[in-house]
Amino acid sequence: MSNKNLLIKENLCIMSKSKKLFRNIKPLLKVAIPFILLSLSVFAKAEKLISPLSVEDVKALIPQIESVETSLSNIKIESELWGETKTNLSDPCEPWKRTPIYISSTAWFKYPPSTKGRVDVHKHVLEWQEGIAQYINESYSLGFDGHYGRTANHTFGHSGTTYSSKKGEILTDAPKNLGTSWCNTFTGRRFSLHFFFNNDLEISSFSKFLREVTSVNVVKHNAFEFNLVEFQGAECVKIDSILDRNIAHVTYWLDVSHGFALRGYELVNVHKDGSELLVSRITVSKLKEVEAGLWWPIEAFAESGPLKPENTYKRLVYRTLNVVANNPNFNENVFTIDFPNGYLIDDQITGKRYRVGEDPNAPENQ
């Protein structure tokens, strides 16, 4: 495989990861569909070129970005997210209309990504596709202590009725839902410098990503373009993939004066006729300095558009309610979920099923 083909493969790997993000959300929210060209032109007006950046300019930024990334040790996030719709994106007078889709959660994570994490979902209202009701609501917990995973299903409801689930699992690895793009969205990780790449083992951080895109093999193919721009009122480094733009490309905006925090992201597919359709858009509108030089997104938007003209545009609105980073008294026991009495546990490590509060070695629990 030639270097150019390998580079294309690496580029598309990044884009494929982002496409998978929206495929994961689709069964829940039906939002994984591209924007029309109009929305691209509107978004483009939000930035103004300040000056081009050379590869050496970008390389000089990498140690600074890495320093910010590694300054995060642990974080606790209390947040909420809801859905909104709009029929005409180009009409500034039409307000976004809120939908019943809603989620509130408390999350704890360690850095680097994919090490330890826990999410307690207090309320999760989502569209349903299995005929029970238009919307269902549930509450649950997901945890991974670095060795084993645990899940706990607390409640499930629809049509105004809520039931107690009282089920749990002990897993040999992290719960799959803990690493999904949907979980990353409602906990805020998807909007952050530190967790954006999350479970991508090849490109686990922005500093590593920038080392790749400024490497000799990539630079000689003119695969990326770098500029300093004013974006959403902030001075940002814009990283734009330009190799094989007739297929797809990605763009990132990192806020220079706010610890290189992520301020924007786009994944664009290109049709055979040359028209561009936006697959994914992220805009971070507000940041909070949770420690000196360390910024966390406290307001962000993830947008998508209709496949058919008669359908509505949709967006997810994220809000951080409270965030604490680098707590010196952080207790890592939080990553191990304690099951309440009466929960039916499926222990995949021992192969046993039992109820908490009863003897797991009793014959009926084997």
Work out the mean pLDDT of the chain and round it to a whole number: 85
Nearest to 178 by CA among 189, 167, 168, 193: 189
> How many Å apart are CA 142 and CA 120, to the nearest integer?
7
Nearest to 145 by CA among 118, 124, 127, 163: 118
What is the per-residue pLDDT across 100-118, written as a single tens digit (0 to 9) for each?
999 999 999 999 887 899 9
pLDDT at 24: 39
pLDDT at 198: 77
Is 50 exceeded by the pLDDT of residue 35?
no
Exposure pattern of 71-90 as b/e (b: 16+ CB <10 Å)? bbebbbbbbbbbbbbbeebe
Q: Which amino acid is at 208?
A: K
**Residue 90: what are its φ and ψ, rounded to 5°?**
-85, -5
- Side-chain half-sphere exposure of 354, counting CA atoms within 13 A: 19
Binning pLDDT at 50, 70 and 90, where does residue 140 land?
very high
> How many Å apart are CA 39 and CA 35, to the nearest integer?
6
Binning pLDDT at 50, 70 and 90, where does residue 199 land?
low
What is the per-residue pLDDT across 48-92, written as a single tens digit (0 to 9) for each?
999 999 999 999 999 999 999 999 999 999 999 999 998 877 788
> Could you tell me the two tokens for 42?
């509107």
Domain ranges, ordered by start, for the chain:
3-75+85-99+203-326
> How many Å apart are CA 238 and CA 230, to the nearest integer?
9
> Could you tell me the two tokens for 242?
């330009």
As a whole number of Å, the end-to-end CA separation of the chain is 53
Binning pLDDT at 50, 70 and 90, where does residue 342 land?
very high
pLDDT at 19: 39
Binning pLDDT at 50, 70 and 90, where does residue 305 land?
low
Q: Which amino acid is at 30?
A: K
What is the per-residue pLDDT across 266-302, written as a single tens digit (0 to 9) for each?
988 777 777 777 778 999 999 999 999 999 999 999 9
